[in-house]
Structure formats: structure tokens, C-alpha cells
A and B are shown apart, each in its own frame.
Chain A
Amino acid sequence: MFLALREIRAARGRFLLMGLVVMLVAALVGIVSGFTTGLGNDTVSALRALPATHVAFATGAKSDQFNRSLVDEATVAGWRQRPGVEAAPLGVTITRGTTGRGLEIDMAAFGVEPGTFPAPAVRRGTGLDAARPGLVISGKLADDGVRVGDTVTVDRLGLRLPVTGVTGDVSYGHVPAAYLPLDTWREIRFGVPGARTTPERLPRDASGVALRARSGADLAAADHALGTLTLPMSKVLEAAPGYKGERVTMTSIQVFLYLIAPLLVGAFFAVWTVQRAPELALLRAIGASRRRLLSYTVLQAALVVVAGTVAGGALALGTGLLLGAAVPFSLPAGTLTATLAAVALVGLAGTCLTLRRVTTPDPLTMLGAAR
């Protein structure tokens, strides 16, 4: 501590500057991470909320499966018969509506069979009922001003749906989710505006089959027999529109920041070490071990990196608060801590790149009198 702190104090301008740079990088990493989580939630939280282990899609759909895939009732029934698997049909489609009070909303309509496991739990109001049409909305729609008891008219068809309950703050493809009975979903998905098709004459299809499979259940055999393609939830998330692209974008920004941080810190400490070389030579000449020089330099690095990172974390949190609920930003304590720990770690790794130089100044250079 003795030398570490006094040297920092004497060179406080330089260390402050370095601390600020670390702070900004850490804040940027924090903010990007907040957007990664926020955007991710905005895109797939409704899928994450689904208590399923897998989803079976039609084989033809290779991407954007919720939009492209259609499975018929026979397939759903086939899946229900498989041992070790609980299956329920699921329909997903994005549509728009207007409430009785003129509020226009976008909603990701999730068609489920009431009573099956994909049906949402409600926070307020009542759940879906097979006997009558109804709508259980995401908490986000409730935040936007839709209330239990409102009637939402689906714009395309004029279909009127009473809001019966509110579930968690879930959304899909940046659109708040709204759950409705599968039959109603079919009207939205397959109904043609103007043509008064009765529900019985619409296709009896769903987007996919939500599965709750016990470990050991032979999903491949079922896929083979039923002509479906089953994906685990981690892959199902990628079926959500935009999810993969957002991930790649945000992750590559983070990766670059993780590369930049150690180089910045490393460059600073390389210069710092070169500037100190005569003093390091003096310390070696009066008997300082290499270890002592290393440990106090590492301590200096740790101080500036940790202080900068913590300040950066605070800045990221502050930014999150300023942005408010309007933008998809979410930075839970756990994520923030992990992110900051990673920044601090790569920052210190950057110092280690230059540490060898700390021990190289030759004490014999002290002999060459006035330099």
C-alpha cells in the first residue's frame, strides 16, 4: 500500500484519466448488457414464460417457425399419445386491436387451449375459459392502459374480445403478448376479412406443439413418426423474429468492449511502467524484490480498475433509471455484477500483459550518474 497509494496520489491526473476511461468502458458494457437483456426480454419473454421444454414445429419451417409452421390436430393428438411427453397445441401470431376506449394496441396473440399447461396464470382477473371468448393480456398492455373488462376489437376482423385477466409482463417480438383460446386464435390467423367464415370451417391447425418432455422421452422417434421437427427451448427462442440478429449485434459489441478494455488498461500500464523505469531500477538497486514491485503495481492496477468499474456500474444503472420504462433496458443486479466482474477481470488481465516490464529495469543503470 505504501508506495502504491503515494504514487497514485502523485500521478493523480493520469490515474484519474485512466479511471475515467475504465469507468466509461464499464458503463458502456453495462448499458449494452442492459439492452441485451431488455431487448431479449422484449423478444422472447413470452416464450421463456412458457412452462415447456420443447416445441415441435412442422418440418418444412426452417426459420421464423412460429410464423411459418402449421401443425394439424392429428399431429397434436399424436404427440399427446407419446410416452413421457405432455403436449398442447400453441398458436402464435402478431396482430393489432383497438380497445373500447379507442386505445390502439399491438399484441402477440398466443392461442392456447384453456386448461392445458401453456395457458397463462393470471395476476389479476380470471383465466381463459373454453366456454367463452376472452383475452388474458400481458402486464405491459395493462401498463399501456388496457383494463380488465375492456373489449378489444381485432382490427382486421372486427372480432370483439373481452379482457378477462392480466398475466406477467411478457412479450414476443417486441410486442406485448395476449392469450386467447385456440379457436379464437384460429379466427385471427385464418379468418378472411369480410368473409363470415364460421369457426368450424377454418383449418384446425396450430403453430406448433408445446411439449413438456421428461428426460429420456424419445423425441426423435416421435418427430419421425409424426413428421415434426422438435426444438429445445433455447432454439425455440431463436425462432422469435429478430432474436438472433439482436443477440449477435449486442454480443459482438460486448466482445469488442471486452477486447478494448484490457488493451486500454494494458497500454496505460505499459506507459506508466516505462515512465517509472528509473525509479523501479532504484528500488531494485536498494534491494526490492521483483515480487514487491509486481505486487504493488498489481495493487495500483486493481485500485484503478475496480474503482473505475464500480463507478461505471453506477453510471450504467443511472442511465437505466434515466431511460425509464419506455425503452427495453433491463439490468438486474446479478447481470450487472457479472458484467462488471468480467470488465474488471479483463482490465486486470490487460495489466498482466505489461507486468513483465515492471521487473526488467536494470539496477545497474543507477551507476550511470546524471542521465
Chain B
Amino acid sequence: MGIVSPGFHGRRRKSAAELPPGQYLTNDFPVLSAGPTPRMREDDWEFTVTTETGREHRWTWREFLDLPAETPTVDIHCVTKWSKLATEWEGVSLDALLADVETEADFALVHSYGGYTTNLPLADLVEGQAWIVHRYNGEELAPEHGGPARLLVPHLYFWKSAKWVHGIRLLTDDEPGFWESAGYHDYGDPWREQRYQGD
């Protein structure tokens, strides 16, 4: 047990047991971004997967919507300490987007409109673990939450779920993204409390 702060009792949350260490439950949907919210029109939106050999696979908004939709209900955990349970999304599984992509890459660098990037192992994007989502709670995804579309990788801290997603570069070597270059953990597993480098 850590050092006790006298007079601190805390507000016991019933669900604390289901949360990763250091997290608290919120019913709001706080926003975390490093800059202004980019405003993208769906007509101008495009999603690209670029392989390590430079081969590009592209989807327009229409083509993206034509892919089979899934409706994941997942818990999300933000590195700023809040967690939100059973959030409801709609989008396309990365398995569908990567189905025809030939690659030997082990890593992915996700990039967004507005310049944001985040990196993760390719293995964490496949097998039903990740989606590009465009609807939240039955409605269009709001711009401050990443609309028109964002990545959703709920098993990692939420900064990995890049908002305003624009594409994914598949890489042979790991390349740190935006927060990963600014002192945050390369992998970001909330259950192992990997918030910062060295955690």
C-alpha cells in the first residue's frame, strides 16, 4: 500500500473492480486532443492503407460504407484516467479492410487529418480487435470525438484510437507516433498501466 493521505476516503465506485488500475468511471465523454478539431467533409474523406512496399489501397467514404458493418460494444480507457463502459459504435472491422492487403509488416503507423499519428503492432489491429468507426451511440460521430471516422482499438489506451483517421502505413520497423514521441508508452496496455515510457 502506498503512503496514506490523512482524511482521504474516496468515493467508492461499485464497479472499481472492473476497471484497469488507476482508472475511474465516467458517464460523460471527455475529449482529449492536442490541437483544434479538424472539420472534414465526408465527400473529401479518404482512407488509405499503404504497405511496406508502397502499395496503396484506398477507400472513398462511399466505398467504406459499402463494406460490411459491425456494431462493437466495448469499454474504453483514456490515459487521463477516465474509463467508460459499454460504449456502442458502428463501423468496419480492420479485418475487412486488410483482407486483400499483402504484407509482411509487423507494425502500423496510423495517421489522421490534422497531422496526428499513433503506432501499434499490426497484430493488435486484426482478429476482431480494431475497427474504423463512424457512428457512436446510434448517431454520426461528432467531430470532437473524431468524426467523420476514427480508429477504435479498445484494448489499448484511447489515444491509440486515432480520431479523424486518414490512413495506416504498414512498416517493418516500429516508428513512434505523436504521443509516443512525447513520453507516452509505446504499447499502452491499460491493464498493465502502461501510461508513460518505462511503465
A binds B: no
Interface set of A (CB-CB < 8 Å, partner B): none
Interface set of B (CB-CB < 8 Å, partner A): none
